[in-house]
């Protein structure tokens, strides 16, 4: 018996509400697969072409101007020093 035949046999034995849930799940999976296929074929949709920051409106300016936090290494150093200071205050 193939997986398709077994699925049909199982569907015939369950309640209509469970069949509706299975159908919703199947349609969800098909949609996700179609989306993956269209992206891999080079047909990117508009939202996925933008970065997360672009969709959010860019980098918040207040984060760029406070203490020269625009550099990742500087941010790491600031965070590390603050963690070290908080550990020293606790002891």
**Position 53 in a domain:** no
3 lies in some domain: yes
**Is pLDDT larger for residue 76 or for residue 62?**
76
Range of the domain at 65: 60-90
Q: Look at residue 48 and tell me if it is in a domain.
A: no
> Distance between CA atoms of 27 and 6, rounded to whole angstroms?
19
In a domain, 25, yes or no: yes
Q: What is the pLDDT of residue 59?
A: 64
Q: Does residue 51 belong to any structural domain of this protein?
A: no
Domain assignment present for residue 42? The answer is: no
Q: For the chain, percent helix, then strand, then coil, each to nearest 5? A: 75, 0, 25
Q: How far is Cα 15 from Cα 17, in angstroms, rounded to an integer?
A: 5
In a domain, 78, yes or no: yes
What's the total number of domains in the chain?
Answer: 2
| Model pLDDT for residues 9-58, shown as the tens digit of each residue | 999 999 999 999 999 898 889 888 888 887 776 655 555 566 776 776 66
- The pLDDT assigned to 2 comes to 94
What are the residues whose beta carbons fall under 8 Å from the beta carbon of 48, sequence distance 6 or more? Answer: 39
Check residue 43 and give its pLDDT.
Answer: 54
Which H or E run contains 71? none
Residue of 85, 87, 84, 63 whose CA lies nearest to 75: 63
pLDDT recorded at residue 12: 94
């Amino acid at each position: 018996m193939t997986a398709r035949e077994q699925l049909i046999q199982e569907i015939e034995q369950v309640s209509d509400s469970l069949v509706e849930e299975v159908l919703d799940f199947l349609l969800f999976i098909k949609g996700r697969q179609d989306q993956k296929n269209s992206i891999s074929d080079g047909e990117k949709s508009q939202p996925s072409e933008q970065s997360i920051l672009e969709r959010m409106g860019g980098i918040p300016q207040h984060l760029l101007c406070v203490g020269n936090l625009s550099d990742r290494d500087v941010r790491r150093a600031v965070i590390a020093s603050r963690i070290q200071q908080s550990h020293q205050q606790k002891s």
